[in-house]
Each structure stands twice: as structure tokens, then as C-alpha cells.
């Protein structure tokens, strides 16, 4: 699409939306789209088309859920077929049982399962359960990781790095106004990939820490990989201190491997949260965990509810997604990895040819691109200090002009419906854009 791209109709809709939707959008993340939030009218496979008729190869993919491509036939059919018999029973139905059984076969710690609708809710449930099970209050979370928008965890996610204390912890910094004052006293914020900070804080707060929550790959900050042994260190520290390890697999789940990061790294977390890729775009989140812990929900000691939990459409989509992932003949996860790796290798080649200092890293099925001095980063503050966000924004808008839709926050998702031709076209566009930026 190398044309003078027009976003005029989207612009008109957006101006109209400002009169009926707060900020013209329904998730603040969407405000970052350039030149302004766009309106889309259809999406199929690897492509998405906006209301101005511009079609893009899509690497935003609904911020992650679309691992089977847009409008996957097998999911649409499963949902259509199931929903004619009803949508919500406020009682049990077979599909939720079958979906849970399918998850148990894929996810290492899924001795028991609970469904909800958003990742934020699953994380809330995990926190409540961890506090109840351990009878403790404090939770360790890491700077630069995002676990949803609730008051209990929306700290040090996208803020400037906070001050560091003698025990290695970081001053809590809320991401928004309006948070409950008490929220931050329950959290300990640490830099990620720092072994000593974990040791020091466990020592200082002996007997107080209910859980450690971590993205097993720091997808929300430049797809930083864990240092060798780091996740094991978290697991051992939790085990030694009778604290729980929570893997937040909302991005990594079903994407980096059918069994998520637990399978990829061979580490079984006490609790894990999933959402995005669980149902190909339908609203589902999942809490999985060890039977002994999850049973506290089952017994009613810990409250977990939700009117729309496990509705028929979402469960039909989840069951179909799990069956699809289980099929080795289809090989979804290998495909995602191969496509992503080819794209990463191509971008790396352009970067070294043009000496741009880009950093391209991640496991493949998801990865991140930023402009830095090219050195690998291991934590949030090094990333913030080194990253040239203005340059990346220019890259994003020039790529949009060429029909390649990428996320303004640096994260790239691939789906199994992307083709190697899509990857070639993307690399050609990236090469032209980056050459123009280099000169
Ligand atoms: C790692 C992680 N956890 C939790 C969430 C929250 O999920 P949701 O947006 O479905 O509430 C997100 C969302 O991006 C996420 O990336």
C-alpha cells in the first residue's frame, strides 16, 4: 500500500466518538494509535482493513489474542453452533467442563481451573487466593510488568523508574490518579532479573510475603527474557519461604508454547493466569493452580464470581482453541515461532546493515523492537534509559503508511495465518522506512 494514505473517515468517526465515548475509545491503550485512533471494519487472516479502505498486515492482533489469525473459521463455527442452544445459563454446561479438561491436558499446573472474562480479573483472583492460602498480605511485583488495571497492582508499570531503597525494593508509583491509598502498602516492587533483590526482600520481610507475581517473559517491557536460572530462583525462593509463585501468562499463555511459559521453561508455578490467546478473540481469562490452593475457591473460603464467567460463546471458543493447539498436525506454536523468528532475523539484518542501534528480542511468537544503543537489556529502567521512543513512533507511522500495522509500544505479535510472503513484504517495507530514517 505505498500510497498517500488517507485516514479521513476514521478521523470523522473519531471526532464523532469524542461526543459519546470518553476519549473516543474504550481502552486507554488505543489512544496511542497514530495519527489518531483508527476505526476498523473487517479483519481476516493476517490482514485488517480500516474504514478508509486501507488494508494492513496486522502485527497488533488485538494486543495478542489473535494467534489463529482474524476470523478463524473453526472458532466462528464452534461459537455459532454452540450459541444457538443458549448463551448464559447461570448454571453449568458441558462446554465449560470440556474446555477445562482440555486446559488440564496442556497447562502444567492446571490441577484445577476457573474461568473469568479478563486478565485483570484472573490476576485479582490469584492475589486473593494467594493471600488466603498463605494468610499473608504482601505481594512482590516487578517494575515494568503489567498485570491489569486494578488498584491492587497498577504500580510501576509505565512510570519513570522510582527511587531504590536499601533492601533493593523500588518506591511504588501508581500509574493513574484515583487509586485506593491502601493499595501500595500491600506490594513490594522489585527490579526484574535481579537475584539479590529477591533474596534481600525475602530476608527483610520474612513470613510476610504471600506471593511473587511475574510475567515469565517481560512482554510488557521490550520482551525481556529471564536471565538463565532467574525463574528457578524465584520458584526456589518462594518454596523456601512458603510463598506462592504466580506466573502471569496473559501474553505468554498458549503462544510461546501450547503449555505456555511453564512448559517452555520447565517450571511449574503455584498459580497461573491466562487470557488473550485462550479463545481467539472471545473474552475469556483463566486461573489455573494446584489443587490444594484452588480448592479454597471450591470450598467457598475464597470468593470468586462473575455473571458472564464461562458463557457458552466463550467456552465454545476456548474448547475449539485448545483442541486446535493440541493438534500436532497443525503445529500452531511451531508456526508462530518460525514466522516470528524469520521476521526478527530479517529486522536484525536490516539493523546491522544500516547500523541503526535497534534492539530486537523475544521468543519469536512475540517479540519487541526498540531503538537503543543495541545492547541487550535485562530490566525496565535500563530499557527506559536507553530507549528512543520518538524514533520508534516515527517508524510506526511510516510503517502504517506502507500497510504494516505495528504496535506503538514496541511489541509485535504473529499469528499462524501470517505467511512467509507477509513477512517478506513487511521486511521490504521496514527496509525502505529504515533507510529513509537513516538518511
Ligand atoms: C501480562 C498481562 N497481565 C494481565 C493483563 C490484563 O489483561 P486484560 O487486559 O484482559 O484485563 C495484561 C493485558 O495486557 C497483560 O499483558
> 141 with 20, same domain?
no
> 263 with 341, same domain?
no
Per-residue pLDDT tens over the stretch 340-381? 999 999 999 999 999 999 999 999 999 999 999 878 889 999
> 142 with 26, same domain?
no
Residue 123 Cα: closest atom of ligand 1? 4
> Cα-flanking dihedrals φ and ψ of residue 142, to 5°?
-110, 145
Q: Residue 401: which H helix or E strand, with range?
A: helix 389-401
> 155 with 304, same domain?
yes
User: Does position 181 have pLDDT exceeding 90, yes or no?
Assistant: no
Cα Rg, the chain, nearest whole Å: 22
Three-class secondary structure of residue 42 per DSSP: strand
Residue 275 Cα: closest atom of ligand 1? 10
Q: How much is the average pLDDT of 276-290?
A: 98
CATH number of the structural domain spanning residue 414: 3.90.1150.10
> 430 with 341, same domain?
yes
Residues acting as catalytic residues: 146, 248, 276
Residue nearest to atom 13 of ligand 1 (CA): 148
Q: How much is the average pLDDT of 325-329?
A: 91
Q: Is 139 in the pocket of ligand 1 (CB under 6 A)?
A: no
- Residue 375's pLDDT is 80
What are the residues whose beta carbons fall under 8 Å from the beta carbon of 181, sequence distance 6 or more? none
Tell me which residue of 82, 85, 87, 86 sits closest to 98, measured CA to CA.
Answer: 82
The Å distance, Cα 163 to ligand 1 centre, comes to: 26
User: Does position 162 have pLDDT exceeding 90, yes or no?
Assistant: no
Three-class secondary structure of residue 133 per DSSP: helix
Three-class secondary structure of residue 263 per DSSP: helix
Q: Count the domains in the chain.
A: 2
Q: Which of 305, 326, 347 is at the close of a domain?
A: 326
Residue 52 lies in a domain: yes
Q: How confident is the model at residue 44 (pLDDT cuts 50, 70, 90)?
A: very high
> 124 with 189, same domain?
yes
Residue 196 lies in a domain: yes
Q: What is the dihedral of CA 77, 81, 87, 93, to 10 degrees?
A: -110
Q: Is 215 in the pocket of ligand 1 (CB under 6 A)?
A: yes
- Residue 3's pLDDT is 55
Q: How confident is the model at residue 5 (pLDDT cuts 50, 70, 90)?
A: confident
Domain of residue 84 covers 73-326
> 282 with 344, same domain?
no
Q: Is 217 in the pocket of ligand 1 (CB under 6 A)?
A: no
Residue 378 lies in a domain: yes
> 205 with 268, same domain?
yes
The Å distance, Cα 146 to ligand 1 centre, comes to: 7
User: Does position 103 have pLDDT exceeding 60, yes or no?
Assistant: yes
Per-residue pLDDT tens over the stretch 378-413? 999 999 988 899 999 999 999 999 999 999 999 999
> 34 with 179, same domain?
no
Per-residue pLDDT tens over the stretch 210-268? 999 999 999 999 999 999 999 999 999 999 999 999 999 999 999 999 999 999 999 99
Q: In what order do the strands lie in the sheet with 411-413?
A: 358-361, 366-371, 411-413
Q: Is 226 in the pocket of ligand 1 (CB under 6 A)?
A: no
Q: Is 213 in the pocket of ligand 1 (CB under 6 A)?
A: no
Judge whether 252 and 242 are in contact, CB under 8 Å.
no
DSSP letter, residue 155? B
Residue nearest to atom 3 of ligand 1 (CA): 147
Q: Secondary structure of 59-112 in the HEC alphabet?
A: CCHHHCCCCCCECCHHHHHHHHHHHCCCCCCCCCCHHHHHHHHHHHHHCCCCCE
Residue nearest to atom 4 of ligand 1 (CA): 147
Residue 285 Cα: closest atom of ligand 1? 10
Q: Is the pTM of this model over 0.95?
A: yes
User: Does position 420 have pLDDT exceeding 80, yes or no?
Assistant: yes
Residue 3 lies in a domain: no
> 197 with 265, same domain?
yes
| Best of 26, 30, 148 for a ligand 1 pocket test (most atoms within 8 Å of beta carbon) | 148
> 133 with 34, same domain?
no
Tell me which residue of 358, 355, 377 sits closest to 369, measured CA to CA.
Answer: 358
Residue 2 lies in a domain: no
Q: Is 220 in the pocket of ligand 1 (CB under 6 A)?
A: yes
Q: Is 125 in the pocket of ligand 1 (CB under 6 A)?
A: no
User: Does position 439 have pLDDT exceeding 90, yes or no?
Assistant: no
Q: Which of 326, 355, 384 is at the close of a domain?
A: 326
DSSP letter, residue 370? E
User: Does position 4 have pLDDT exceeding 80, yes or no?
Assistant: no
Judge whether 141 and 155 are in contact, CB under 8 Å.
yes
Beta-carbon neighbour count of residue 296 at 10 Å? 16
Three-class secondary structure of residue 158 per DSSP: coil
Of 161-165, 326-330, 404-408, the one with minimum mean pLDDT is: 161-165
CATH number of the structural domain spanning residue 266: 3.40.640.10
- Residue 2's pLDDT is 54
The Å distance, Cα 285 to ligand 1 centre, comes to: 10
What are the residues whose beta carbons fall under 8 Å from the beta carbon of 113, sequence distance 6 or more? 100, 103, 104, 286, 287, 288, 294
Region of residue 116 (left: phi > 0; alpha: psi -120 to 50; beta: else): beta
Per-residue pLDDT tens over the stretch 69-94? 999 999 999 999 999 999 999 999 99
Cis peptide bond N-terminal to 159, omega within 30: no
User: Does position 105 have pLDDT exceeding 70, yes or no?
Assistant: yes
User: Does position 161 have pLDDT exceeding 90, yes or no?
Assistant: no
- Residue 1's pLDDT is 58
Q: Is 261 in the pocket of ligand 1 (CB under 6 A)?
A: no
What are the residues whose beta carbons fall under 8 Å from the beta carbon of 157, sequence distance 6 or more? 144, 145, 146, 175, 220
Q: Which of 265, 296, 326 is at the close of a domain?
A: 326
Amino acid at each position: 500500500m505505498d500510497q498517500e494514505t488517507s485516514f479521513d473517515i476514521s478521523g470523522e468517526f473519531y471526532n464523532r466518538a469524542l461526543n459519546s465515548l470518553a476519549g473516543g475509545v474504550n481502552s486507554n491503550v488505543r489512544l496511542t494509535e497514530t495519527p489518531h485512533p483508527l476505526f476498523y471494519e473487517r479483519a481476516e487472516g493476517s490482514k485488517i482493513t480500516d474504514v478508509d479502505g486501507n488494508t494492513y498486515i496486522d502485527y497488533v492482533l488485538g494486543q495478542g489474542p489473535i494467534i489463529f489469525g482474524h476470523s478463524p473459521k473453526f472458532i466462528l463455527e464452534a461459537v455459532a453452533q454452540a450459541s444457538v442452544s443458549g448463551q448464559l445459563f447461570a448454571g453449568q454446561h458441558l462446554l465449560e467442563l470440556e474446555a477445562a479438561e482440555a486446559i488440564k491436558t496442556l497447562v502444567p499446573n492446571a490441577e484445577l481451573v476457573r474461568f473469568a472474562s479478563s486478565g485483570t480479573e484472573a490476576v485479582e483472583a490469584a492475589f486473593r487466593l494467594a493471600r488466603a492460602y498463605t494468610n499473608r498480605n504482601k505481594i512482590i511485583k516487578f517494575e515494568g510488568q503489567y498485570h491489569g488495571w486494578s488498584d491492587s497492582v497498577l504500580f510501576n508499570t509505565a512510570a519513570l523508574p522510582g527511587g531504590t531503597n536499601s533492601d533493593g525494593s523500588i518506591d511504588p508509583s501508581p500509574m493513574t490518579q484515583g487509586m485506593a491509598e491502601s493499595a501500595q502498602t500491600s506490594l513490594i516492587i522489585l527490579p526484574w532479573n535481579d537475584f539479590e533483590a529477591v533474596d534481600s526482600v525475602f530476608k527483610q520481610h520474612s513470613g510476610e510475603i504471600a506471593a511473587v507475581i511475574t510475567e515469565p517473559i517481560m512482554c510488557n517491557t521490550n520482551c525481556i527474557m529471564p536471565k538463565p536460572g532467574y525463574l528457578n530462583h524465584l520458584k526456589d525462593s518462594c518454596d523456601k519461604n512458603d510463598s506462592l509463585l504466580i506466573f502471569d501468562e496473559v501474553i505468554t499463555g498458549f503462544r510461546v508454547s501450547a503449555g505456555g511459559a511453564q512448559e517452555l521453561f520447565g517450571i511449574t508455578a503455584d498459580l497461573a493466569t491466562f487470557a488473550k490467546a485462550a479463545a481467539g478473540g472471545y473474552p475469556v481469562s483463566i486461573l489455573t493452580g494446584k489443587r490444594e490452593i484452588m480448592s479454597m475457591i471450591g470450598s467457598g473460603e475464597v470468593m470468586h464470581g462473575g455473571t458472564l464467567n464461562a458463557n457458552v460463546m466463550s467456552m465454545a471458543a476456548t474448547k475449539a482453541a485448545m483442541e486446535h493447539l493440541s493438534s500436532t498436525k497443525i503445529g500452531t506454536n511451531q508456526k508462530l515461532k518460525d514466522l516470528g523468528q524469520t521476521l526478527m532475523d530479517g529486522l536484525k539484518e536490516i539493523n546491522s546493515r544500516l547500523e541503526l542501534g535497534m534492539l530486537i528480542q523475544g521468543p519469536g511468537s512475540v517479540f519487541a523492537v526498540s531503538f537503543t544503543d543495541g545492547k541487550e537489556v535485562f530490566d525496565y529502567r535500563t530499557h527506559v534509559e536507553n530507549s528512543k521512543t520518538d524514533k520508534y513512533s516515527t517508524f510506526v507511522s511510516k510503517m502504517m503508511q506502507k500497510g504494516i500495522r505495528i504496535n506503538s509500544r514496541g511489541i509485535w505479535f504473529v499469528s499462524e495465518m501470517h505467511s512467509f510472503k507477509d513477512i517478506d513484504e513487511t521486511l521490504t517495507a521496514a527496509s525502505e522506512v529504515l533507510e529513509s530514517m537513516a538518511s
